[in-house]
Structures are given as structure tokens and as C-alpha cells.
Copies of this chain bind each other. A is one copy, B any other.
Amino acid sequence: MKKLIKNVNIITPEGELRGCIGVDGKFIDYVGAAEPAGYDEVIDGKNGIATAGFVNAHAHLPMVLFRGYAEDMALQPWLFEKIFPAEDKLTPELVKWASRVAIAEMISGGTTSFSDMYYFCDEIIEAALESGIKANIARGVSAFAETDTSKLAAFRETEELFAKYNGAGDGRIKIDACLHSEYTNNEAVCRAMADYALEKGAVLHVHVSETETEHNECIGRHGLTPTAFLEKCGCYRSPVLAAHCVWVTDEDIAIMAANGASAAHNPSSNLKLGSGVAPVAKMLAAGVNVCLGSDGCSSNNNTDMFTELHFASLIAKGFARDPQALPSRQALALANVNGAKAQGRADTGVIEAGKRADIVIVGTDAPHMHPVYSAAVAVVQSARAADVRLTMVDGEVLYKDGEYKTLDVERAIFEMEKLVDKTYR
């Protein structure tokens, strides 16, 4: 099935171009100013802005249930009095509906792929498959003192997920290897997961140096920063997706850059929890692949890449006291092509013939989208999730003009609210 998107202002790797995007099956086959013939379906972009879809490179989807659940609390009571007890009540059914609500939020807000780290992964994956969105799924591994991986359910589940789901949905689903973090694991398990990631050729998703406390406690424990410790365990032989990286040192950054690692920057979460501000400019300058994430809804509170993108831009300028820091075009790359790289998806993240058709059209009708002098600036500095008119993944339209094409979102919200009433209110 060939589709032509016409009347769009396209953000390309080179710049901006008004014209058409041709899609053949799952792939882009034309990007240009002309309106070529031979397409079965024509989608009128109505003068909107076409951008490569956003990648939410660090999420915990089921935590949408805890959106606004535990607010304005210090870290320890937040975790031990509210979040952990709430997580203890999770069931596959809660996760099933919550995942669909979270995916609906993402799809309607221009996110075409996400990297998740949690449990009840089957439910999350089934929701992703049903919706058509792309997902890298990691089973969070927190072994604590247990060094025997044969005794770890999370390890076993990871292996099962690889066997059952890796490559599912024509490659839309990828399974990542995972360590929750250094401080929730031990050296033996870290080494075992590092070997497993290498064997599977998988991305290794791990929380790194989110808080100053955990960073320093790791040094106290091992005489090494979390990054250096994970490197010692062999993790960096694989593509690492390091979430947060708020307190990474220059040496940590050098390790990441030398090993082609990615850093998922989660500006809203880091600020909301008082963790600090990640050294994004330093990491980019060193060649680290910096991408963007929302983290979980209990510390955001949304799953909205437009907000993360805008906020990352403002924080970079404000933190450096430099209005020239992280120009909008460079910021935009964090939200799509860098996220795609972090997921090991070299075939997407840009609007270019030969790439996967993961495309978002941002409407320009609303007052706040006038005037537009540059499409990239408008996307980063003015556009919002609600401006998204169309979200396409692998050439399939998942969302268009307020309608979800693949998910019964009303039902998901209804079912989730029923269970939330019973479980959490």
C-alpha cells in the first residue's frame, strides 16, 4: 500500500522542505518538493509540519497508574510509604489497561517508539503490539544480594521474553537486556547480564547516577563510579542505554563516548525529584548519544516528548546561562534520531527515503503556531502534544485528527479507572 503525504513542511536531515513524503509499505520512498503519482492513498498534511516520530527512550509505562498519586514528598517516604506499596498491588490486569492508556497518550503526542523498563512485560508488549507503536522492552533486574542468576525470576523472564517477543510485530518489538541499577544489584549479576547482553546483541538499559547519593555510595562501595563499575563488569561491550546520568563525571562521559553508549536525559523527572540537571552539553560535546525520556508518570507527571524536548532546550540554555546552548535543531535530534540510535534502530529517526515511515504531522492551525519562521523551532519551542494531527509507524496510521485507529482508548480508560477506584483510591 503506497501512501502520499502532501502539503507538509518537512524537517529533513538537511533542513526544511515544503512538499510531499511518499510511503511504500513500511518505508519512506520519496521526500521532495514534487507531488509524484502512483500512490494509492493521499493524506493532506494541511500545511502542517512533518517530523520524524519521537522516541521516549526511558519510561515505566505501568506507573501511569501513579500519576499524581504521591506528590511533594521526600524520596524515602515517597518510595517506602507510597510507591513500593502501590507497586505491590499491581496485577496483570491493571498493567494491561494502564499500558494502553499510556500508549494512547504517547501515540496522540507524536511518540512512535518507547524504551520501557519494568515488569509484567508480557502485558506491556501485548499492548504495544495491539497499538502498532514500536517498543524496546526491558525486564527490570534487581537482584540485590542474590548472586545466582538461576534463582532470579527476572533473569528467566528476560530469557523468555527474548525467545517469545524479540523481533515481534515485524521488528516493532525489541527486547533489551537490563540491570535496574548498580545499587540494586551485585557484581556477579552485573557480569552475568553483561555477558547475556553481548550474547544477544542487545541494548543494555540501566539507571545510572540519577541521584548524588547513589553515585557517591557506589564509589564508597566499589571505589568506582556507577559507570566505571558497570564498565568493569563488561556492560559497555554492548550498546548501553544509561538513564538519567545526572551525576556522571568527565571520566564517566569518556567511557560512554568511547563505547558508543546512549544517555537518556529525563529533564522533568530529574527536576521534579530534585535530583539535579544532567550535563547534556558536555555529553553531546564528547560524542555521547543523548536522547530523551519521560521516566515514570509519578515523577513527571506525563509521558509527553514535546514537554521533555521543550524543557530540555530551556534547561540547557538556563543551566549554561547561555541562550545559544542546545539550538532547537540539535535539541530536536535528541527526541527522534538519537532515541532511535539508543534503541538500536538505525532504520528510523529521520525523514529520508529508505528509512522506516515513522512520521508525525504537527498541525499549525492553532494561534500559538503563528507565525512560523522555522519548522524545527516551532516544534521545539511552540508545538505541544495536542497539536499532533497524525502519527504513523512503519507506514501505518495509528492516530489521526483525534481518533485512535488501533486502540479502544475509551475502553482502556474506563477499565483502568474501575481498577484504580478499587485498588488505589
The reply on A73 being an interface residue by CB < 8 A is yes
Q: How far in angstroms is the closest Cβ of chain B from A331? A: 10
Query: CB distance B105 to A68 under 8 Å?
Result: no
A243 close to chain B: CB less than 8 A: no
| Chain B residues positioned under 8 Å from A185 (CB to CB) | none
Interface residues of A in 289-323 (CB under 8 A from B): 300-304, 307, 310-311, 313-315, 317-318, 320-323
Asked whether, in the complex, the Cβ of B105 is within 8 Å of the Cβ of A367, the reply is yes
State how many angstroms separate the Cβ of A385 from the closest Cβ of chain B: 7
- CB within 8 Å of B: which A393-409 residues: 409
Instruction: Report A408 CB to chain B, min CB distance, Å.
Output: 12
User: Separation in Å of the A181 CB from the closest CB of chain B?
Assistant: 19
Q: Are B75's CB and A323's CB within 8 A?
A: yes
Q: How far is the CB of A88 from chain B (nearest CB, A)?
A: 18
User: In whole angstroms, what is the CA distance A425 to B373 when docked?
Assistant: 7
In the assembled complex, how far is the CB of residue A401 from the closest CB belonging to chain B, in whole angstroms?
A: 13
CA distance A307 to B314 in the complex (A): 12
Q: Which residues on B sit within 8 Å (CB–CB) of A271?
A: 314-315, 317-318
Give the one of A108, A271, A303, A304 with max B CB within 10 A: A271
Cβ-based interface call for A150 (8 A) = no
User: Do B272 and A317 have beta carbons less than 8 Å apart?
Assistant: yes
Of the candidates A64, A68, A413, the one having the most CB atoms from chain B within 10 angstroms of its own CB is A68
Task: Contact check, B368 vs A303: say whether CB atoms are below 8 A apart.
Answer: yes
Determine the distance from Cα of A372 to Cα of B64 in the docked complex, in whole angstroms. Answer: 11
- Given A268-B314, A382-B67, A385-B384, A371 and B417 touching (CB < 8 A)? yes
Q: Could you tell me the distance between the alpha carbons of A316 and B218 in the complex, rounded to whole angstroms?
A: 28
- The chain B residue with its CB closest to the CB of A101 is B367
A182-209 vs B, CB cutoff 8 Å, 1 = contact: the mask equals: 0000000000000000000000000000
A304 touches which of B74, B368, B387, B417 (Cβ 8 Å): B368
Q: Would you call A317 and B273 a contact (CB within 8 A)?
A: yes
A33 at the interface (CB under 8 A from B): no
Which residues of A come within 8 Å of B, CB atoms?
A: 64-65, 67-69, 71-75, 78, 101-102, 104-105, 108-109, 268, 270-277, 300-304, 307, 310-311, 313-315, 317-318, 320-325, 327-328, 366-368, 370-374, 377-378, 381-382, 384-387, 409, 413, 416-417, 420, 424-425
Question: Given known contacts A275-B321, A367-B413, what 17 new A-B pairs fall within 8 Å (CB)?
Answer: A65-B371, A68-B373, A68-B382, A71-B328, A72-B327, A75-B323, A105-B367, A270-B318, A271-B314, A271-B315, A273-B323, A274-B325, A276-B318, A301-B382, A303-B368, A371-B420, A384-B385
- 7 examples of A-B residue contacts, CB within 8 angstroms: A67-B370, A69-B371, A71-B381, A75-B323, A301-B382, A307-B310, A371-B420
